Amino acid sequence: MPEEFKSHGLAIVIMAVVSVAVIPSVALARKTQPPAPAPAVSCLFNDSHFHLTNYVQKGTDMAKYVDEIMGDKVCRSTVFGIPLQQTWSYGNSGDFAPTYYLQSDAPLYYYSFTDAYIANAYLKLKPEQRQRLDPMITGFNPADMYAVDHIRRVLETYPGVFSGIGEFTIHKEFVSSKVAGEIASLTDPALDRILEFAGETGLAVILHSDIDMPFAKAGAEPVFLKQMKDLLRRHPRTTIIWAHIGLGRVVRPVQGQATVEATERNPAYREIVEAMVADPTLSHVLFDISWDEVAKYAVSSPEAIANTAAMLNRYPDRFLFGTDNVAPADQATQLHIFNMWDPIWARMSPDAIRKVRMGNYERIFDAARIRVRAWETANVK
């Protein structure tokens, strides 16, 4: 455990040196965002994927999240809402007030106020609470050429707050088709503008896009894989975290040949991920293993456990743990997903464990904080 804290100390020193050397006027950023925190001894992980609020913009109090739910078990965490609001259509569900997208046929729409809500809650925290969080901008429509202007406006309105954008969604089973207006696409220039701007400012990106459509034919190449790789390759300057490695509730790890035994669940999928990890044109891409649905696949059999642990041990710099919890009520909920991975943690090297649970988060979000604060200093008048 002690080596986990050396890098924290180093990160603090580096941030202090860089902010003095590179950023001449950091009064604004300093006021709102101190450097990276010194972790508590019993920290288990940093949460790279966390939603404070749900599909009707309700959720956990941010101070409670830091003090009670992260507590001394989660050192640092991303924090974002959900950009999509479920409409309560009286004509559809009457007096029943839906709180989840599967509970109504009415559309979802982009609720940009989520970013102001997150920023205001963050700014009310004490400095020592703020330093443990990395707020993310989500309230934009990725099918809108003006989306990038929203992101810029949020940075200008709340300098010193945000480290990244996302989780935002292009393809998601049951969700994409419910979104009012233009359908998002991996080939939309609006999305290229967003990723280009993230590269320019240093905003880290958490992108959700299913690798495939639900109930796809076994053995076929996932429908969205090529578009996804092409998109990622167009933005080599941008740090992009692919949420859930493209998996979903029914978008399962794709099967290989028909002869593959039932216990060997996903050889083709493993090959797809491994090829991407090894591809030098995708070295700016990381893979997020958050969500209990992903954990279920990873621990579904002894072979899946062994294969997943082997992948994480082989490429420990490229995977990030996160919970994908939405507005949890208590710490037990937050730790449940972490504990689902126990069989895999048990098969991982100490170095891989440290990186996947803590170190990769620190590397990405420490760099994002420094770069975005520098962009704000140069561009926010």
The secondary structure element, H or E, covering residue 331 is: helix 331-340
Is residue 376 at the binding interface for Zn ion, with CB under 5 A as the rule?
no
Q: Which stretch binds Zn ion (CB under 5 A): 86-94, 210-218, 250-258, 324-332?
A: 324-332
CB of 93 to Zn ion, least distance (A): 24
The secondary structure element, H or E, covering residue 47 is: strand 45-47
CB of 324 to Zn ion, least distance (A): 4
Q: What is the CA radius of gyration of the chain?
A: 20
Nearer to Zn ion, 36 or 228 (CB): 228
Q: Which stretch binds Zn ion (CB under 5 A): 40-48, 89-97, 224-232, 321-329?
A: 321-329
Q: Is the peptide bond before 167 cis (omega within 30 degrees of 0)?
A: yes
Q: Which residue is nearest to Zn ion (CB)?
A: 324
Tokens of 354: 């440290």
Nearer to Zn ion, 47 or 167 (CB): 167
CB of 261 to Zn ion, least distance (A): 32
Which residues inside 154-183 make contact with Zn ion, applying CB under 5 A? 167
Instruction: Report d(CA 338, CA 295) in Å as an integer.
Output: 9
CB of 82 to Zn ion, least distance (A): 8
Q: Which stretch binds Zn ion (CB under 5 A): 55-63, 128-136, 273-281, 318-326?
A: 318-326
CA 247, 251, 257, 263 dihedral sign is positive
DSSP character string of 161-213? T--EEEEEESS-TTTGGGBSSSPP-TT-HHHHHHHHHHHHHT-EEEEE--SS-
What does the buried/exposed string (b/e) look like for 69-91 if buried means 16 or more CB atoms within 10 Å of the residue's CB? bbeebbbbbbbbbbbbbbbbeee
Nearer to Zn ion, 192 or 293 (CB): 293
Q: Which stretch binds Zn ion (CB under 5 A): 146-154, 317-325, 337-345, 358-366?
A: 317-325
Nearer to Zn ion, 49 or 354 (CB): 49
Q: How far is CA 152 from the centre of its chain?
A: 20
Nearer to Zn ion, 29 or 74 (CB): 74
Binding mask 274-313 for Zn ion (x = CB under 5 A): ----------------------------------------
Count of residues in contact with Zn ion, rule CB under 5 A: 2
CB of 206 to Zn ion, least distance (A): 8
Instruction: Report d(CA 15, CA 21) in Å as an integer.
Output: 10
Nearer to Zn ion, 115 or 167 (CB): 167
Tokens of 69: 């739910």
CB of 318 to Zn ion, least distance (A): 19
Strand 108-110 relative to strand 84-86: parallel, antiparallel, unpaired?
antiparallel
Instruction: Report d(CA 294, CA 298) in Å as an integer.
Output: 6
Nearer to Zn ion, 35 or 164 (CB): 164
> Could you tell me what percentage of the chain is helix, strand and coil, using 3-state DSSP and rounding each to the nearest 5?
45, 15, 40
Nearer to Zn ion, 144 or 167 (CB): 167
CB of 374 to Zn ion, least distance (A): 28
CB of 310 to Zn ion, least distance (A): 26
Residues 324, 362, 366, 376: which binds Zn ion (CB under 5 A)?
324
CB of 290 to Zn ion, least distance (A): 7
Instruction: Report d(CA 182, CA 187) in Å as an integer.
Output: 13
| Interface ranges with Zn ion (CB under 5 A) | 167, 324
